[in-house]
Amino acid sequence: MSELRIAFLGDVVGSPGRRAVAHAWPKLRDLHGAHALIVNGENARNGSGCSADNYRELRRAGADAVTLGDHVFKDRAIADVLEDRLHPIARPANLSLHAPGKRLIRLELPDKLPPGLRSRPIYVLTVLGRLYMPLLANSPFEAVDRELSALPEPDAMVIVEIHAEATSEKQALAWHCLERWSSPTAPTVVAVLGTHTHVQTADARVLEHRLAAMTDLGMCGPHRSVIGRDVAATLNAMVRQGPASLDVATDENQACGALLRLDVEHRRSVAIEPIRITVPD
């Protein structure tokens, strides 16, 4: 069996999160055998949005692809990077078709694969959830179906990210993709991974021996925090309802996500392993 290993790290929060990615990638590559790295960079700019410089820093740190979420356009300059076909960064596919940016990323891996390991085409697609989300979006189910129906390679493997609040919506999309996109004559979804809540969940599993699913990958950033924000400032805002600048915290930096083990020959996931790597002080 030709096994491809792809690491996917959850929401990168500010500069601590960017440092966590840079620390984690050599370990994922050398200790866990990862061949490629995907990162959600949607909070890389001081906890909200992603700038062009943040994107480039994540790429230098080892990211082969970067995805965004509901803060996609918080830094307007990112639109130019999103529009450039040379940059492997994508915005949610279920925003308006008129919104700037790519809806799909094709992973380019030949130089990273060891001798003898051949890969099929691999795509990364991200969608927003609609339950309890501040940014209005179209149906994530219909967006996945539309984008995969248009893929020119019927032997492609697809990793779907759903950036959403509701666990039910994330799990429903995984079952939808398993039911709709497991045909041997069409692109196959091998994983549906959740992001956005910044809290790593304990439900990583492989559905029907084919599709890896996990409700939330967690975050890359300071874990002595409230989902990445300073504890004292957050308590002032929530407990006393006082004015507070919710700055990114700094302590107990970790990189969280998952490692996918893919059977390339049969286009399926064989395992999903949660990742939690601590960054030294």
What values do phi and psi take at 210, rounded to 5? -135, -45
The percent helix, strand, coil of the chain (3-state, each to 5) is 25, 30, 45
Compute the distance between CA of residue 198 and CA of residue 219 in angstroms, rounded to an integer: 5
Cα 18 to chain centroid, rounded: 14
Classify strands 211-214 and 205-207 as parallel, antiparallel or unpaired. antiparallel
The angle formed by the CA atoms of residues 168, 175 and 210, to the nearest 5 degrees, is: 135
β-pair partners for 163: 128, 195
Compute the distance between CA of residue 248 and CA of residue 245 in angstroms, rounded to an integer: 9
Active site residue 266: no
Catalytic residue among 23, 35, 71, 163: 71
Are residues 99 and 157 in contact, defined by beta-carbon separation less than 8 angstroms?
no
> What burial letters (b/e) apply to 65-97, b meaning 16+ CB within 10 Å?
bbbbbbbbbbbeebbebbeeeebbbbbbbbbee
Residue with tokens 């599993």: 205
**Catalytic positions:** 71
